[in-house]
Structure 1
Amino acid sequence: MSDTRPPFMAQEEFEALAAHARSLNESLSFEFINGKMGAKGVPDGDHDEMIAWLQSLCMQANAGWWLYVERGLRVETYRTGNARPDGTLAPRGTFSGQGEWASTDGVLMVVEVTSGDSDTNQRDRVDKPRAYAQTGIPVYLLIDRDTCEVKVHSQPDGERYEMVGTVPFGKTVALPDPVGIELDTEPLKDWVC
């Protein structure tokens, strides 16, 4: 029986292709997860407001932190993938001297806000949690506009997150250590289309 899976793309091939494609169309962001290239559209205004809200809260909790927007990260086992989380929480200066695709060393949390495109389910709810857990990122926060819920993934075991907590918009959710802050998610209701 022949293998019908598409061939995996090499890391270097992805980086060259993504750079070329971005020069032609700046309205798309490219990622390389689980050997497959994907694209996601440019965020809308409500998406931006959610990230700005979270950025403000993280800075209030610790002035030494920054929520980097669309920071390219090398993810997955053996660093064979690239992702652009909507937000990456890390101490200021973590990415100094690194190129477009940075190491996840020092990353405290990654954040995704669902976009409602056809690939959101697979990308944000399946592929990215696995890739982020494999990389050892302590917390993955998913702001799910489709279900009006916040999902907090924590305790990565190298394959998956062992803990996943879900709360509806409007409730308070605790982000576990190393983040260690509580979020009142009531404002998220204002930015759901």
Structure 2
Amino acid sequence: MGREAPMLVEEFERIERAAPETVWLEFVHGRLVVKPGADGARGAILVHLVGEFLAERPEPALYPYRGLKVGAGREGRARPDGTLAPGGHFAGDGEWSEPDGVLMTVEITTGDPDTDRRDLPDKRDAYAAAGIPVHLLVDRDDHSVTVYSEPEGGMYRSRTTRPYGAVVEIPDPVGITLRTEKLKDYA
């Protein structure tokens, strides 16, 4: 039996447009992925992060679930839980935006360790390959926050992990101090 040809991004986008609004699809490293919806705790974490970022820097904005073209050749499509970019940055864009000008992506684990273990490293590497300067991972299973920065060669060279409750320094171009004590409430 022969190997099937990989799915093209145009095929993915056709499938994604036909999917019901309640289903979010992503296409990372040639794989079609169903992005789980935000449960109560995941949504609360995102709301908390929006408040933290607004308190530290009212500009830029943390956009929830913004579709991004990712990977070195922009052949992937991902929908991070949060995308930090200048206010109005995506105005006029369609469903999927170029990552140019994006300062940071945010992913919050789903609570399903199998899904997270399978999808999150691929997405992190796709963000790095796209040149997104910072990636923030809130790991609900591990009760930790990890900051990835310095993208080079499709990977982030720097990684810092702190437990919930710690003060986390997010490097430039984000340049804020993130307080994570409140995340313990959502563990």
TM-score by length of 1: 0.92
Shift in Å, 1:104: 0.6
Superposition CA RMSD, Å: 1.4
Alpha-carbon distance between aligned partners in 1 of 2:109 and 2:45, rounded to the nearest angstrom: 11
Note if 1:60 corresponds to 2:58.
no
Partner secondary structure for residue 119 of structure 1: helix
Partner secondary structure for residue 174 of structure 2: coil
Shift in Å, 1:116: 2.0
> Number of matched residues?
186
Corresponding residue for residue 9 of structure 2: 11
Alpha-carbon distance between aligned partners in 2 of 1:96 and 1:27, rounded to the nearest angstrom: 23
List per-residue Cα deviations over 1:71-116 (Å, max 9, x = no partner): 0000001110000000000010110111000011110100000002
TM-score by length of 2: 0.95
Q: 1:188–1:122: structure 2 CA closer, same or farther, 3 Å change rule? A: same
Letter in 1 for 2:81: D
Corresponding residue for residue 140 of structure 2: 145
Checking the alignment, whether the CA contact within 8 Å between 1:173 and 1:182 is kept in structure 2 is yes
Shift in Å, 1:144: 0.2
Alpha-carbon distance between aligned partners in 2 of 1:170 and 1:52, rounded to the nearest angstrom: 17
Letter in 2 for 1:105: D
Higher relative contact order (CA 8 A, sep 6+): 2
Q: Alignment identity in percent?
A: 45
Corresponding residue for residue 190 of structure 1: 185
- Residue ranges of structure 2 left out of the alignment (5+ in a row): none
Corresponding residue for residue 80 of structure 2: 85
Alpha-carbon distance between aligned partners in 1 of 2:57 and 2:173, rounded to the nearest angstrom: 11
Checking the alignment, whether the CA contact within 8 Å between 1:136 and 1:158 is kept in structure 2 is no
Letter in 1 for 2:119: R
